[in-house]
Structure 1
């Protein structure tokens, strides 16, 4: 988490400066080159042969991987992850809360840059600074999350993260209402969102690891990510259409509503978290 936050801290600010000095075209070319480089690396990793290893089944006998096809095994793992997720209330509620939060963020994401550049006229450099503010918040959360969980407990950290995200969206609404001071509101909202999202994610990861039955963590985590991140592309398309037809305010309002829906899912989930871990030192 810290490495990702550090990269996100540096790259957007540099990109904003490059867009301002070189224009969008050259920066798009640089981004495309990096994308192709990443694809080449991923392809080489995928094609590298792996050592033959006998994978034991539930009874300890090797050879299951030879019997099941890759797709059949994938389907079996996905079904097991889904079953565990649905049968574990805390995991299901936290997952639905994350889905709502991601969909809300995706609704506003496609129109945010257009709004900042054309309506607010803050310039491309501001976009880099804004994303950097979010990265600073995430970097701070990655450094402080462990101590926060130890002192406040998992339950309070989960609730704090969800409440903080709703407040961060509210700061974006203030920027929409108070355009004369939109810049500071947006920077504060981005920093708070970055901090609270990462605090919630780290705490939820700890809860997920403890709530999963032995041997199912990987499958459950994969299913959670499929649901939480798989909802983003369609939500992004919907957000672009919503902003184009009804305006930026409606997309932003949708984000706020879904942030509250996310909080409504997280509150009952917090009741399932081990109360013994919530004792304040």
Structure 2
């Protein structure tokens, strides 16, 4: 197998693994009422069941980072996929306990993938980090779109348990490709590491001043991207949870129409994830890309406040922007970190803090809505989060970071 063919096989296997990082989460909301009725869950129980994975992202990202460093990203991705498969099957067995435990196992498996997949991108696709990260983000959104659309028909035909468990085939397919691809990749890097070690310690010497400068730049980058990701993830999960309700209350859409109206927020993310690498490859400055995406994201809360009749436009623009901004954040981390280890550690910090904020955002937004009896204050909160994201991205993407 040629090097190019091997690289293509690894990329295919990596993208199949990426499908599993959101698809299983998106399969639950369409049938959550059936699940609640079958298991006897209260509204609080349903909220816990749907929020557990995001809590896992926040709580277990440091452990996932340590695991990736210890066993390597290849084995970590395999373990993550096994956790996703086991958790998917366990949550469908028909009891409250197994549903909660299975969802937790699923969340931990996805957390490992969230950390390990970007490490492989930063290490093995560094020169194509923007395009591969875009494909990674688009694949995740495509997977969640497919499970969102098809879970209800499957549940009607076979019941919710089989409908949810059936998506385990995605993890099986990913494992079938990733296990051989990961073994080959690990073997390749063992040879590279052995060759580097044979050259002796002399080549590892670096200038202490340059090293301190690189570490200081990395710390600033991580802080800025943490703020950006916290704003991005909080805005995404809050709007995912409440956008149908906002459209129903502010625009007057019926429940079914409001749910359909919110769909472009997810679908347009695929376009955003693909367009960002194209723009960067066309030598559009990263700062210009970041600023444009921030403006499109901010158009959603501002548009719903000042021109709600154009809700479909704001939803589509923000959908593309949220997919694109996720890609920009991970691309900046992959391209501007001084080493793979620094990218892994930075990713752990960014995701831990970002997902901690994201886990709290839907609940906080709901509480603000209930206390104010309207959506003006919640939308202003979303606007504030996105402004923080915009400022952080604007600063992190300035050319001096790239040119250091």
Cα deviations by residue, 1:66-112 (Å, 9 ceiling, x for unpaired): xxxxxxxxxxxxxxxxxx79943233212202212333444555443
Partner of 1:3: 139
**Structure 2, unpaired ranges of 5+:** 1-136, 198-214
Cα deviations by residue, 1:178-206 (Å, 9 ceiling, x for unpaired): 4xx2xxx2221221112112222222322
Higher helix content, 1 or 2: 2
After TM superposition, the score normalised by the length of structure 2 is 0.48
Partner of 2:330: 205
2:229 maps to 1:98? yes
Range with greater deviation from structure 2 (115-124 or 136-145): 115-124
Query: Alpha carbons of 1:270 and 1:34: their partners in 2 closer, same or farther (altered >3 Å)?
Result: same
Partner of 2:387: 260
2:274 maps to 1:143? yes
Partner of 1:72: none
Specify which of 224, 246, 259 is matched with residue 372 of structure 2. Answer: 246
CA positional deviation for 1:211: 1.6
1:100-119 superposed matches below 5 A? 100-117=231-248
Whole-angstrom CA distance in 2 between matches of 1:264 and 1:206: 17
Whole-angstrom CA distance in 2 between matches of 1:241 and 1:86: 38
Question: Greater relative contact order (Cα 8 A, min sep 6): structure 1 or 2?
Answer: 1
After TM superposition, the score normalised by the length of structure 1 is 0.65
Report the aligned-residue RMSD: 3.9
Task: Note if contact 1:159-1:267 (Cα within 8 Å) is conserved in structure 2.
Answer: yes
Whole-angstrom CA distance in 1 between matches of 2:312 and 2:358: 23
Query: Alpha carbons of 1:263 and 1:142: their partners in 2 closer, same or farther (altered >3 Å)?
Result: closer
Whole-angstrom CA distance in 2 between matches of 1:12 and 1:26: 14
Whole-angstrom CA distance in 1 between matches of 2:353 and 2:393: 16
2:295 maps to 1:163? yes
CA positional deviation for 1:250: 1.1
Whole-angstrom CA distance in 2 between matches of 1:137 and 1:266: 21
Task: Note if contact 1:171-1:186 (Cα within 8 Å) is conserved in structure 2.
Answer: yes
Whole-angstrom CA distance in 1 between matches of 2:148 and 2:263: 6
**Structure 1, unpaired ranges of 5+:** 20-24, 61-83, 277-281
Q: Secondary structure at the match of 2:381?
A: helix
Whole-angstrom CA distance in 2 between matches of 1:85 and 1:171: 39
Partner of 1:129: 260
CA positional deviation for 1:219: 3.1
CA positional deviation for 1:129: 2.7
Whole-angstrom CA distance in 2 between matches of 1:127 and 1:12: 15
Task: Note if contact 1:166-1:256 (Cα within 8 Å) is conserved in structure 2.
Answer: yes
